[in-house]
Amino acid sequence: MTWESRKGYWLYLIPGALLLTVIIVVPLGWNVYLSFTKYRGIKPPTWIGLENWQKLFQDEEFWASFQHSIAMVVAMVVLPTLIGLVLASLLFDLVGRRFGGKVVGLLRAVYYLPQILPIAIAAIVVGWILRPDDGALNEVLTAIGLGGHNWLGSPDTALLSVGAVLVWIQIGYPVVVFMSALQRIDPQLYEAAELDGANWWQRFRAITLSGIRPEIFVVVLTCTVAALKVFGPVYALTRGGPGSSTIVPSYYSYTEFFTAQQVGYGATIATALTVVVLVVAIFFVRAQFRLADEEER
């Protein structure tokens, strides 16, 4: 027997494939089925066709939750990626080359810290800082003569506050990924550009941006998927409130499942979210492949 014969290797796939089927494929299909039923968790589900889906498209709460998803994309993808690009480039191009790797390593670790922070803890810390009466932020604001505000408790600033927290949590991820991508770029390129009189912005655009495009794609894709699915921060910070001012699709489906006991409708929201996530992922991957093709040509 030589290793070259391919027969028999599929045996190794059996445990993994079995687990994948039981834990992912079957529940996913089951969930789609539930979206066509009325099911309150006790009596068996009854088939009601498209009723849930019709309700979904007229459900203002659902559309509000999706609008908040867009805000989440801004907070978890757009801002962190932009800030991350600038920070990574500053660290690599200016700080790293003039002040040494130790400084850069330390700064990078500090930026990454919120990423490893469990979300329940982050929520406690932030919730406490933003507390209306004795929170640290309001104390500072009062000290410098600005009035305090109930940041998480009032509908007009709750989404903004959650967004700000998410920016804080997310920044470390693009910084670290982009910085390791920059290792690939020859530092002499920067030196040469500098000697030619290119300023930081020109070096940033010509060398940094074009050099690490694959990583930018990866960061944007993974963060967008994460932003659409975001649950923990919303649950831990605001539970979707006040009212429904910070509700997101995943939190909405969670409450339909376990609080309202409207399992069929919860499944419909979850299925709709799955479809959106898959469409976004396919779109990104295709765009990435097309870009890679063009570059090879």
Partner 1 sequence: MTTTEAEPTTTTPTRQNRRRRTGWEWLALTATVLIALVMAAPLLLVLLNAFKSPEDFAGNGPLGLPTGLYFDGVKTFWDAVNFPEKVWNSILISGCVAIGGVLVSVLNAYALGIGRIRGRMWVLIAFLLATIVPQEALLYPLYIMFKNVGLYDTVWSVVIVFIVIHGAFGTYLLASVFGAFPRELLEAAALDGASRWQILWRVVVPVCRPTLAVLAVFFFIWTWNEFLIPLSFLVSESNQTVQVGIATLQGERIMNVTTISASALLGIAPTLIFFLVFQRTLTRGLTAGAIK
Scan residues 223-262 and list those touching partner 1 (CB under 8 A): 225, 228-229, 231-232, 235-236, 249-250, 253-254, 257-258
267 touches partner 1 by CB under 8 A = yes
Nearer to partner 1, 47 or 99 (CB): 99
Nearest-approach distance from CB 111 to partner 1, in angstroms: 6
Among positions 107-166, residues that touch partner 1 (CB under 8 A) are: 107-111, 113-114, 116-129, 131, 134-136, 139-140
Between CA 287 and CA 13 the distance in angstroms is 31
Question: Can you say whether the dihedral through the CA atoms of 86, 89, 94, 96 is positive or negative?
Answer: positive
Residues 47-66 that bind partner 1 (CB under 8 A): none
215 binds partner 1 (CB under 8 A): yes
Does 78 contact partner 1 by CB under 8 A?
no
Instruction: Say which DSSP state 210 is in.
Output: H
Q: If binding is defined by CB under 8 A, does position 281 make contact with partner 1?
A: yes
Q: Does 209 bind partner 1 (CB under 8 A)?
A: no
* Residue of 157, 156, 108, 112 whose CA lies nearest to 137: 157
Neighbours of 241 (CB within 10 A): 15
Alpha-carbon distance of 48 to 67, in angstroms, equals 28
- How far apart CA 208 and CA 190 sit, in angstroms, is 9
1 vs 147 by CB, closer to partner 1:
1
> Which amino acid is present at 79?
L
Task: Determine if 204 is a binding residue for partner 1 (CB under 8 A).
Answer: no
Which amino acid, 36? Answer: F
The minimum distance between CB 182 and partner 1, in angstroms, equals 8
